[in-house]
Amino acid sequence: MGIFFKLSAIIIAISAILIFLFIKPIFEPANIPELKEKWWKIHKPAKVDTSIKPFKIQVSDEILQDLKDRLDRTLPFQAPLQGVNQNYGINTNLLKTVVDYWKTKYDWKKREQLLNQYPQFITNIQGLNIHYIHVKPAQTQGLKVLPLLMLHGWPGSVREFYEIIPLLTTPQKGRNFVFELIIPSLPGYGFSEAAEVGGLGVPEVAVIMKNLMERLNFKTYYVQGGDWGAMISTLMAVFYPEKVIGLHSNMCLVNSPLSNLKLMLGSFWPSLVVDEEHKDLVYPRLDKIMYLVLETGYMHLQATKPDSIGVALRDSPVGLAAYILEKFTVWTNPAWKDLEDGGLTKKFTMDQLLDNIMVYWVTRSITTSMRLYSESINKRVVGLNLESIPVEVPSGCSRFKYELAWFPESILKDKYKNLVHVTNHEGGHFAAFEVPEVLAKDIIDFTTKVESMNVKKSV
């Protein structure tokens, strides 16, 4: 039976790729869609408040007491199977350790002070109160100040960026610029409001982010992101090339029919697609596809029935922690599924991990965050053929070894036509959180190249 299911999964995966490749014309011309600036609440007031208001995270004692009561009422866990470690999802022995720490050692009041260390604001964009962190450099004398929009994904939050903020806003030796950071919570995530009407997918979030930067009076700026943030920032570069000076991503994705065909053909002659050193990150192709099938069940669920799973996760803090922390094990290093502790504290502290979970819990935003999948992975958005629209602005791809999908430079150039910076690093999906020094240096190196290019153009 095991062989039957494996063969069935292989056939399904291959069939899906062939359908995508050959039913959808490979050389279909791609046009940038015109997206209307939709109002995302049910009712629109006669006068819209466009002011910018200071914001601080202040969680009520009532919410914290409710959390404590729910943690105390947690039912006994189902015992894990012997020797499975994290291969069936988070091991309940590990989860018990997390919950015990949450109940006895984690101090939200102290963590709230940490989360409030940087200036935060709220402003209304297209009906939604959008939360963002805005950090200006303290030292700017003799330096060019460059605005940088940084975007998170799921199951992350703005918490991922706290360790990288000082690295990017502090002048670096030998560099003639420093960053001014704008770090929003995506709509429906954390402290940003969620839409009340359908249709707010990744393309529409890109419009909101553009409007946020306009609200802050930035005419041009750099964009950076991973996960959903990578896709949103890429679309901003596609939609608004006159505004985006440069695009940096720690999850550059290419999903055009032509690129998929090239990757498949490379199975017969890998050297046509990837160098020998990195061949094992791309091939055997079937192994990579099966890994994605194994690790993207959550995506199918969230793209089809986010509200159903949302009920359970919104009601149980322990369930929420289990669902999110599993991703921090597998997506940081897939080999850690075979460890008793899931490797969770190899790269993160328990406080950091719980900070991120608390952002979802205290804002009751897990359901609305997952809706971004259903609003983006559907016939309407796929029909826009966004994957086939090239990025023309200067782009930088920071490739981390354990990212869910790793693309050779030859494939990246199919999408990123002005690819000026490609690097390889140890690490996984949550780069800003896991290795902030590595990602910060990569962003700075990329920006140095783009700024030098712009100087040459102006001469």
Are 49 and 124 in contact by the 8 Å Cβ rule? The answer is: yes
Give the contacts of 412 (CB within 8 A, at least 6 positions apart): 252, 254, 397, 419, 422
Instruction: Give the whole-angstrom CA distance, residue 257 versus residue 28.
Output: 9
Are 359 and 291 in contact by the 8 Å Cβ rule? The answer is: no
Distances (CA, A) of 358 to 55, 112, 158, 189: 17, 10, 12, 12
β partners of residue 358: none
Instruction: Give the whole-angstrom CA distance, residue 156 versus residue 357.
Output: 9
Mutual orientation of helices 92-104 and 61-72 as an angle, nearest 10°?
A: 140
Instruction: Give the whole-angstrom CA distance, residue 52 versus residue 70.
Output: 36
Instruction: Give the whole-angstrom CA distance, residue 392 versus residue 416.
Output: 7
Distances (CA, A) of 397 to 247, 254, 400: 9, 12, 10
Instruction: Give the whole-angstrom CA distance, residue 66 versus residue 47.
Output: 37
Which residues have a catalytic role annotated?
227, 373, 429
Q: Which of 256, 264, 259 is nearest to 29 (CA)?
A: 256
Instruction: Give the whole-angstrom CA distance, residue 66 versus residue 84.
Output: 33
